[in-house]
Structure 1
Amino acid sequence: MRRIAIAVAATASALVLVFSYRTSTGIAPVAEGQSSGGQRTGTAAPGSTPGGDGTFTGEAADTRYGPVRVRITVSGGRITDAQAVEYPQESGRDVRINSAAVPRLNQETLQAQSAQIDTVSGATYTSEGYQQSLQSALDAARG
């Protein structure tokens, strides 16, 4: 009887581990084309420096808690400003998490000059959405 209990507990533990493993970020690739408002979108090599000057808004990235959208300003081939213009703010928890995470993500963008930025601990979904939208904005900047 003891062996059966141990086998059931071990099986249950293994199933929990298997089902909690994240195999994908759920981020869809950005399609080429035009977005609303005349903001260009496209594809380019991740992490490369933007080329065109102006303000570019990325596609909204859907996350578990709501969409995230990033706008960048490029001058002289460098990102001079990065702002999350849309991010989850539905609950007090969203506000608390993102009021700390979004400024860090904006600053990381200015330092990295690419979408290759660190994920903010405790704000994984926002961070992943931010990176996806940021990459879309960078792609638009490369036109």
Structure 2
Amino acid sequence: MRKVLFIIVLALAGLFPLLRYHPAATEAAQSAPAPSAPAPPSATAPPDPGTPSSSAPSSAGGPPSARIVDGSKVDTDFGPYQVRATFSAGRIIDVQMITEPSDRRSRRIAAMAASSLRAEALRAQSAHIDTVSGATQTSEAYAQSLQAAIDAKGN
């Protein structure tokens, strides 16, 4: 009798976490667009996310000769990433992450890595940047999207 009671208690203790589990990403959250940085006032509707694009020179929020270019959207196991690079006089003057996965954990990782990746890209002036520890896929997707923006910028 004691063994049966002991087994029932252990079974309930094992099932309790499963009953309390609530996935962070619900179906509605997965279909909703990921939050992104605000677009510059001169930017128009976003282009097809699968291809790199560039916008006209921007006069708001940067030097008069600044050119804003969106990199391609890079899909990872955790979701899509995309960056927007701002160029002036052939140099990268700003990089922003504009698309990131919708789940909470991936967004937190992306937010923690974004400042390091931005600083590294500005220092290197290229997409050859170091990977952030604990954010490998985020770093690789960031670099791929940044490289697409650099390639789309042209000269």
Give SS of 2:92's match.
strand
Alpha-carbon offset, residue 119 of structure 1: 0.5
Distance verdict in 2 for CA 1:140–1:84, change over 3 Å = same
**Inter-partner Cα distance in structure 2 for 1:106 and 1:58:** 14
**Inter-partner Cα distance in structure 2 for 1:60 and 1:96:** 19
Q: Per chain length, whose mean CA-contact separation is higher, i.e. which structure has more relative contact order (CA < 8 Å, sep 6+)?
A: 1
1:121 corresponds in structure 2 to: 133
**Inter-partner Cα distance in structure 1 for 2:139 and 2:102:** 14
Unaligned runs of 5+ in 2: 1-46, 55-64
Count of equivalent residues: 97
Residues 8-65 of structure 1: per-residue CA shift (max 9 Å, x gap): xxxxxxxxxxxxxxxxxxxxxxxxxxx639825xxxxxxxxxxx95110011000110
Alpha-carbon offset, residue 88 of structure 1: 2.0
1:4 corresponds in structure 2 to: none
Please state which structure has a larger fraction of its residues in strand: 1
- Is the 1:53–1:141 contact (alpha carbons within 8 Å) kept by the matching residues of 2? no
Give SS of 2:72's match.
coil
Counterpart pick for 1:134 among 109, 133, 146: 146
Unaligned runs of 5+ in 1: 1-34, 41-51
TM-score (norm 2): 0.57
**Inter-partner Cα distance in structure 1 for 2:101 and 2:82:** 10
TM-score (norm 1): 0.62
**Inter-partner Cα distance in structure 2 for 1:96 and 1:36:** 26
Q: Give the ranges of 4+ consecutive aligned residues of structure 1 lying more than 4 Å apart after TM superposition.
A: none
Counterpart pick for 2:108 among 87, 96, 102: 96
Return the index of the structure with the highest Cα Rg: 2
1:13 corresponds in structure 2 to: none
Taking only the aligned residue pairs, the percentage that are identical comes to: 46
Give SS of 1:136's match.
helix
2:122 corresponds in structure 1 to: 110
1:39 corresponds in structure 2 to: 53
**Inter-partner Cα distance in structure 2 for 1:117 and 1:84:** 15
